[in-house]
Structure 1
Amino acid sequence: MNAALKLLGKRALENGTKSPNSENPYRCMVSVKQKNGKEKMKEDYRPIPPGLSDNDAEILKRVRRKAYNWDQKFRCCCFGMRFGWSAILGLIPLIGDGLEVLMSLSLIRTASKVDGGLPNRIYLWMVAYIIMDFAVGFIPVLGDFFDFAFRANTRNAWLLNSYLTEKGKVLLARKITDEKGKSMPVPDELWPQDQDVEQGVESMRMVEPSSRTIAAVPPALTPAPKRAMPPPGRTLTGQARDPRDR
């Protein structure tokens, strides 16, 4: 894989693994200015990192929403702890754990549809979270509590968020630098497919000459003028026709 992609994946892991899995990946509290000039905190959708294409932004929204529904959609009235459909399915022996894995794999499948795909490091970490959650989930009682606290889907959502944040910075700056400050070329895989359309630049394409030989077109034939019909009783040679020949 390209060295720039590896570097981008490494940076995303450094930040993505630090994000707490208890934080809501889908919504957050934002400050809204009221008419009287005062500011009020209001829950709203988490903003999309700048610099991303429409496809990457939509993929990030879908992954955030899935992770929230599967890990934090409901709140426990007794302990105030949030949980989702993943924890509910985990209570069903065997079948619930299998359905939970399928749900988590569908989240990774959605995340891999970003422009250029996911770096290998990010992809392997996402799979490792699911395997860890699935393995411990087989332990009775303890596995259910671990599922409540671990939240593999939320962790994967934050990994994708971290990677796309780093990707957006690179696309805005149009360059990427390593730890030593050395500039590296931006891989073509990071650019959206419709970059020429977004930038208003018409793509230049080299047209290869055709190997076919153009056949010579024959000149148009001028139709011969119609000959006048001879008068009755005359042949084309101008001699009189014998009436007995009729």
Structure 2
Amino acid sequence: MNVALKILEKKALGKLRKDKRSINSDNPYEEWVDVGKNGKTKRKKRERPIPEGLSRNDAKILRKVRKRAYRWDQGFGCCCFGFRFGWSAIIGLVPVVGDAIELLMSLALIKSASKVDGGLPKRLYSMMVTNIIIDFATGFVPLIGDLVDVFYRANTRNAWLLDAYLSEKAKALREGALQDPDTGNKIRVPSELQVAPGDRDVEQGVESMAMAEPARSTPAVVPPARTPAPRGNAPPPSASRTATTPGRSLTGQRPGGGPWDPRDR
């Protein structure tokens, strides 16, 4: 496990050195892409995609760290001077108390980043803490410290460190092995870093239609309603129901004669 983390650490730092982007000025949460519409190409801003192959936990943490780092360091723009600043610079203007709040915010960001599967490599974790210490120390210098805080952007630096690490981790998970950049040797991805198929993150949180579609069930067969027979076709009353009581008649006469009885009506 330690060997695997060291290899991922080397590859992540190598990726940051290889890319010519500035890790303290590029937006870690959003990116500009070319979109073609009606034969014209336009620039559109969108959320940066999550590397394919990460677990839901790692993807969730990466999105959270990216978004918070952007809000704290680059959430607002200045049209007059052409630079961006965030809540970290605004809160840092308050003497002592502002610097303490800014420190707690940055430490909370590192704590969230360290909850990825398998944890963070020690060197990357130390680099994140160092960025915060430098930012916190310069904040005590009046005026100059606030300007340094605007341009140093410790949270953005830490977000790019996490992004580089998880990008290399996702690549290793897709390939099923880690390759040491120094020796070229390959080792199997440790079980602590492996991701179950059902725990993989779906891009931008959109699940497949097969998972979202409800199960189809066969509708129950409803028996047809019984239609009552018309009255004209009703069978004649049975003889048992038309038979009169022996010894009585509707005409008032007793069969075989005899005195009239009122009950015969």
Contact 1:26 1:65 in 2 (8 A): yes
Cα drift, residue 37 of structure 1: 4.1
Cα drift, residue 196 of structure 1: 5.4
* Change beyond 3 A, Cα 1:16–1:189: farther
Which of 61, 69, 72 pairs up with 1:70? 72
1:102 counterpart = 2:104:
yes
Contact 2:55 2:199 in 1 (8 A): no
Q: How many residues are treated as equivalent by the alignment?
A: 196
Q: Structure 1: how far apart are the matches of 2:183 and 2:81?
A: 48
Show the counterpart of 1:22.
Answer: 25
Q: What is the percentage of aligned positions where both structures have the same residue?
A: 57
In the TM superposition, 1:179-194 aligns within 5 A as 179-192=182-195
Q: Structure 2: how far apart are the matches of 1:196 and 1:145?
A: 47
Show the counterpart of 1:58.
Answer: 60
Contact 2:7 2:178 in 1 (8 A): no
Q: Structure 2: how far apart are the matches of 1:120 and 1:24?
A: 25
Show the counterpart of 2:235.
Answer: none
Q: Structure 1: how far apart are the matches of 2:65 and 2:199?
A: 24
Which of 147, 150, 154 pairs up with 1:148? 150
Show the counterpart of 2:133.
Answer: 131
Show the counterpart of 1:84.
Answer: 86
Provide the secondary structure at the position in 2 that maps to 1:50: coil
Task: Flag structure 1 segments of 5+ consecutive residues without an equivalent.
Answer: 200-246
Q: Select between 39-48 and 129-138 the one with higher mean Cα deviation.
A: 39-48
Cα drift, residue 16 of structure 1: 3.4
Amino acid at match of 1:188: S
Amino acid at match of 2:187: M
Provide the secondary structure at the position in 2 that maps to 1:40: strand
Show the counterpart of 1:220.
Answer: none
Q: Structure 2: how far apart are the matches of 1:62 and 1:78?
A: 30
Provide the secondary structure at the position in 1 that maps to 2:192: helix
Q: Which has the larger radius of gyration?
A: 2
Q: Structure 1: how far apart are the matches of 2:60 and 2:69?
A: 14
Q: Structure 2: how far apart are the matches of 1:24 and 1:133?
A: 19
Q: Structure 2: how far apart are the matches of 1:198 and 1:65?
A: 23
Q: Structure 2: how far apart are the matches of 1:197 and 1:83?
A: 40
Provide the secondary structure at the position in 1 that maps to 2:49: coil
Q: Structure 1: how far apart are the matches of 2:151 and 2:142?
A: 15
1:163 counterpart = 2:165:
yes
Task: Flag structure 2 segments of 5+ consecutive residues without an equivalent.
Answer: 201-265
Contact 1:5 1:187 in 2 (8 A): no
Cα drift, residue 186 of structure 1: 1.3
Show the counterpart of 2:5.
Answer: 5
Which of 19, 30, 35 pairs up with 1:32? 35
Show the counterpart of 1:119.
Answer: 121
Amino acid at match of 1:41: R
Runs of 4+ in 1 over 4 A off after TM superposition: none
